[in-house]
Amino acid sequence: MTSKEKLISIGTTAAIAVIAILAVFPLFSLFISSLRPSSDLMRNGITLTIPFEKLNLNNYAFIFTQAGNYWDWYINSLVISAATIVLCLFFSSMVGYALAVYDFKGNRLIFILVLLILMIPFEILMLPLYKQMIGLRLVDTYPAVILPMIVAPVAVFFFRQYASGLPKDLMESARIDGCSEYGIFFRIMAPLMLPSFAAMAILQGLASWNNFLWPLVVLRSNIMFTLPVGLATLLTPYGNNYDVLIAGSVMTVLPVIILFLFFQRYFIEGLTVGGVKG
């Protein structure tokens, strides 16, 4: 490696390190604020200084012992996000796979419709979806939040692009051996699509975990709220529970970090291959 290449490598590493620090700093500041007393937060707000003499774990102790419905919100978010991830990966992968490997009448039209739906803001679809949930009597239930998300257009598009690059010879060989079409997908093609499943699990899980607007519309009782909706209720004209809000916000980051660490092995590969195939 020449001296010029070394300088470029050092400069690139330094730039990435600076970007990483800037990305992590808000999380670090949030964590430090979660260790400060509520009175100090109300008086000084979130600052760049670290008041070591005031830091304690009282806010977290309050969450684990006296936080009311916080853990109900946490469980609701976990259940809804887990169900959304599993169902979205199952149905969206099958739709994307079918659009990629089968040549049937209307294939291109369906794919064009998927692209058109991608261009429509979700806010436009909320009213008909809400009326549908009322008609099905699902308002204020888990299915009301989960059902509209189980076939995501972005996931269908992603799986279609990824499946377009799968070797078709394997399908022909499996058919010759007497394997059914479902067997080909679940036993042969799905294992080859693991990177795409991992990438979509992270992206859809993050979207579901942070989803605020739709749960706010279809959930009514306090005990059914998800974390984004529940934490938002802590800020009212009659009192602001910043201690629970900030400490609770730190706790909400943990599942996202765990999800990414679990699937990071395939995440970059899935995004890269899915973005260039087809």
The residue extents of the domains of the chain are: 1-66, 68-276
SS3 32: helix
Backbone angles phi, psi at 152, to 5 degrees: -90, 130
CA 117 to chain CA mean position, Å: 19
CA 213 to chain CA mean position, Å: 15
DSSP one-letter code for 55: -
Q: How far apart are CA 266 and CA 199, in angstroms?
A: 7
Q: How far apart are CA 71 and CA 118, in angstroms?
A: 34
Q: Which amino acid is at 260?
A: F
pLDDT at 59: 81
pLDDT at 275: 44
Beta bridge partners of 240: 235
pLDDT at 264: 72
Burial (Cβ within 10 Å: 0-12, 13-18, ≥19) of residue 69: middle
pLDDT at 272: 57
SS3 240: strand
pLDDT at 88: 95
What is the second-level CATH architecture of the domain 68-276? Answer: Orthogonal Bundle (1.10)
pLDDT at 240: 65
Q: How far apart are CA 90 and CA 94, in angstroms?
A: 6
Burial (Cβ within 10 Å: 0-12, 13-18, ≥19) of residue 166: middle
pLDDT at 8: 85
Counting every residue written for the chain, the total comes to 278
Distances in Å between the Cα of 63 and the Cα atoms of 23, 25, 132, 239, 245 are 27, 24, 36, 17, 10
Tokens representing residue 202 in the block? 């992270």
- Indicate the pTM of the whole model: 0.84
SS3 235: strand
pLDDT, tens digit only, all 278 positions of the chain? 678 788 888 888 999 999 988 888 888 888 888 888 877 777 777 777 777 788 888 888 888 877 778 889 999 999 999 999 999 999 999 999 999 988 888 889 999 999 898 888 888 989 999 999 999 999 999 999 999 999 999 999 999 988 888 888 888 888 888 888 899 899 888 888 888 898 888 889 889 999 999 999 999 999 999 999 988 887 766 556 777 788 888 888 888 888 777 777 766 665 555 444 44
pLDDT at 103: 87
Q: How far apart are CA 132 and CA 138, in angstroms?
A: 9
pLDDT at 1: 66
Q: What is the 3-state secondary structure (H, E, C) of 114-148?
A: HHHHHCCCHHHHHHHHHHHHHHCCCCCCHHHHHHH
Q: Which of 234, 216, 231 lies closest to 140 in space, CA to CA? A: 216
Q: How far apart are CA 98 and CA 113, in angstroms?
A: 15
* pLDDT tens figures, 27-49: 888 888 888 887 777 777 777 77
